[in-house]
A and B are shown apart, each in its own frame.
Chain A
C-alpha cells in the first residue's frame, strides 16, 4: 500500500491522498495513522483517491468511517473519488455509498470544495 499526498494548485486548502494497493487489515492501521497525522497537522479538507486501490476489506471501510468522524470534530470534510467498480459495489452492499461525497473525476471533486 502506497500513499501519496498533493495539495493541488487550483485549491491549496484541499489535500488529495492517493491510495495504491491493498487496503486490508495489514495496511489499514498504517494508512489510518498517516491520515490522522495529516489531520493533526491541520489538513482538514481531504479528498481520497481510490483509483489505485486494488482490494478493499472491511478494515479499509472502517478507516473511512473513522476519518469522517474525526474530521467532523474539527469541522473538516472528507470526500472520495475514482472508486473502482468493486470498491463501489462494497460501499453499496454495506450501505455506505450515500453517506460519502463520491466523485468520478478529480476535477469534479475539487470543484465541490467551497
Chain B
C-alpha cells in the first residue's frame, strides 16, 4: 500500500478543526485505531497552530498545505507554509516543576508533537534551496503494530 493525499487550507485558527476532520477521515479510511488517530491529530493540530501563530503571526492570507503519505510501514505527514521562518530549536523544552505557580506555560505544543510522533523534523525555508517551511511528522506502524495494524491485517486477510 502506498497512498498520497494533499489539501491546502487557509492558515487561520478557525480552520484547525477542518484540518483535523480532513486528516481524521483519511486515518479512519485506512483503519488506524482511535488511540493512534487521536495522537496524530494532536501532533498535527499543534504543528498547524505553530504555523498560524508563529510563521504567519496570526495574519490572514497564508496557506498551510497538508501532505500525507501512508505505506505499510509508516504514516508521514508534512505541513508546508510560506510564512516567516520559525526556528523551533529556539523553543526551550518545558521545565516541569511541581508547583503550578512556577510552571512555565510555553513550549508544550512541540513537546506534545514529539511525544505523540516517532519523528518530528523541521525544514526551514531558505535553507538547502527550500522555498517553504516544512514540519514533517512520522508515525511508524510496525513499531506500534499491535495497536495500529489490526486494521491493515484484517483488511489483508479479508476478516
Q: Which residues of A contact B (CB under 8 A)?
A: 22, 24-26, 55, 57-59, 61-62, 65-66, 68-69, 72, 86, 90, 93-96, 98-99
Contacts and interface: CB of A to CB of B under 8 A. Distances in A.
B100 A58 contact: no
Contact of A65 (B14, B16, B103): B103
Instruction: Tell me whether chain A's interface is mostly helix, strand or loop, or mixed.
Output: helix
Interface stretch (B3-11, B37-45, B70-78): B37-45
Interface of B: 13-14, 16-17, 20, 35, 38, 41-42, 45-46, 49, 52-53, 94, 96, 98-101, 103, 105, 108-109, 111-112, 115
A66 B111 CA distance: 19
Contacts, number: 66
Given A24-B16, A58-B108, 10 more contacts: A26-B16, A55-B41, A57-B46, A57-B112, A58-B49, A58-B109, A59-B49, A59-B109, A86-B38, A94-B108
Given A58-B109, A61-B108, A24 B101 contact: no
Instruction: Tell me whether chain B's interface is mostly helix, strand or loop, or mixed.
Output: helix
A58 B17 contact: no
